[in-house]
């Protein structure tokens, strides 16, 4: 058996992944790689990383999917440093399309991926799609709880499934590459708070220029210490869906200018997104769980347009009302994600036909 190099030359990397010393580290939700395999046997080894195996509870370990010709071969939480599964086994050489996706979010675990095959096997990158999309968000974009219909369940990576996220689904509908950059509980000026006190521990903004924040390591490095090369997989469309968690702070502190502060800092973040994605169309979105700060989101987009950036727009999702069910902890169900994907897809097709028609 030979070790396969899952680098960006031999495979198509998906989203924010890090490749070091023969190991692929999918950092963000939905990240991973895709390739075409020709050979007799293919083994995929997934793992949670030594630091996570020894220290993290099961509910924080990374969840992976391995697809062979579009069908799940593996879909599980990686419990150990290394777990090996045979994805392809045949007495004669066969050709198969392989996709390896990290279904859970970055904060709690990164995970590892390696591959080995028979000595005569070869791999090549999957074909590139005509344009790229990035979705920046919180637990909604992570598809928190989408695989659990018990509204009282606590957080667990086992219930996260990036392949059911509205972002993933919208990219599929539009025939685009995708990248998710999302963190449960995070916001622009405050993460989720039940007390009304500002939650500065869960603010997404400082990590956007990196591979992403995680309590786990990617090789010997923290992902937040690895600068992200925005020219590597440049986005044509960036959707920002933040503000849901900020509202828990802003609603309790409206009298001291919290809402106005959110508006200022949201605009500042949109300018950062523009700086990192100079050629992208930016969609400032909000909704699904709540849209109470949508006025500030829309004003930020209008401000940038007034300053001469005509490639910024705002969009409001239909809020969930329970008719399509819920995931765990009152998060959107798979049906709600599908509706949101259809909504943003219709909007993009209407306002950006020149990109969608590529």
pLDDT tens-digit readout, 176-197:
999 999 999 999 999 999 999 9
SS3 track for the chain = CEEECCCCCCCEEECCEEEECCEEEECCCCCEEEEEEEEEEEEEEEECCHHHHHHCCHHHCCEEEEEECCEEEEEEECCCCCEEEEEEEEEEEEEEEEEEEECCCCCCCCCEEEEEECCCCEEEECCCCCCEEEEEECHHHHCCCCCCCCCCCCCCHHHCCHHHCHHHHHHHHHCCEEEEEECCCCECCCCCCCCCCCCCCCECHHHCCECCCCCCCECCECHHHCECCCCCCCCCEEEEECCCCHHHHHCCCHHHCHHHHHHHHHHHHHHHHHHHCCCCEEEEEEECCECCCHHHHHHHHHHHHHCCCCCEEEEECCCCCCCCCECHHHCECHHHHHHHHHHHHHHHHHHCHHHHCC
The confidence band for 233, taking pLDDT boundaries of 50, 70 and 90, is confident
Write down the pLDDT at residue 358: 64
Write down the pLDDT at residue 50: 81
The confidence band for 270, taking pLDDT boundaries of 50, 70 and 90, is very high
Question: Can you tell me the mean pLDDT for 304-315?
Answer: 98
Question: Can you tell me the mean pLDDT for 58-72?
Answer: 95
Question: Can you tell me the mean pLDDT for 77-103?
Answer: 97
Question: Can you tell me the mean pLDDT for 32-47?
Answer: 98
Q: Give 2-125's CATH code, choosing from 3.40.50.150, 2.60.120.260, 3.40.50.1970, 1.20.200.10.
A: 2.60.120.260
132-356: same fold as 2-125? no
pTM, 2 dp = 0.97
Q: What ranges do the domains of the chain cover?
A: 2-125, 132-356
Query: Whole-number mean pLDDT of the chain?
Result: 96
Q: Give the domain 132-356 fold.
A: Rossmann fold (3.40.50)
């Amino acid at each position: 058996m030979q070790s396969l190099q899952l680098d960006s030359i031999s495979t198509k990397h998906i989203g924010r992944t890090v490749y070091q010393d023969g190991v692929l580290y999918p950092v963000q939700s939905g990240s991973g790689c895709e390739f075409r395999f020709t050979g007799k046997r293919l083994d995929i080894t997934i793992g949670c990383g030594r630091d996570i195996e020894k220290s993290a509870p099961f509910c924080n370990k990374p969840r992976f999917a391995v697809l062979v010709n579009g069908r799940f071969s593996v879909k599980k939480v990686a419990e150990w440093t290394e777990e090996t599964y045979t994805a392809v086994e045949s007495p004669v050489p066969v050709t198969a399309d392989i996709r390896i996706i990290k279904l859970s979010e970055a904060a709690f675990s990164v995970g590892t991926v390696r591959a080995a095959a028979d000595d005569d096997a070869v791999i090549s990158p999957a074909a590139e799609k005509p344009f790229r999309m990035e979705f920046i968000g919180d637990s909604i974009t992570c598809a928190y709880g989408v695989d659990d219909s018990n509204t009282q369940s606590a957080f667990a990576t086992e219930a996260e499934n990036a392949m059911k996220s509205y972002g993933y689904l919208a990219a599929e509908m539009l025939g685009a590459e995708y990248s998710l950059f999302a963190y449960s509980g995070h916001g622009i000026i405050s993460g989720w708070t039940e007390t009304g006190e500002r939650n500065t521990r869960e603010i997404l903004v400082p990590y956007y220029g990196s591979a992403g924040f995680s309590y786990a390591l990617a090789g010997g490095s923290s992902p937040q210490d690895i600068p992200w090369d925005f020219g590597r997989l440049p986005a044509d469309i960036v959707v920002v869906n933040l503000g849901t968690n900020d509202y828990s702070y802003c609603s309790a502190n409206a009298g001291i200018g919290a809402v106005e502060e959110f508006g200022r800092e949201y605009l500042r973040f949109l300018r950062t997104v523009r700086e990192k994605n100079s050629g992208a169309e930016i969609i400032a979105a909000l909704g699904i769980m709540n849209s109470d700060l949508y006025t500030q989101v829309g004003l930020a987009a209008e401000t940038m347009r007034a300053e001469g950036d005509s490639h910024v727009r705002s969009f409001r999702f239909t809020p969930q009302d329970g008719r399509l069910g819920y995931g765990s902890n009152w998060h959107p169900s798979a049906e709600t994600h599908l509706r949101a994907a259809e909504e943003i897809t219709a909007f993009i097709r209407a306002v950006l036909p020149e990109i969608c028609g590529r």
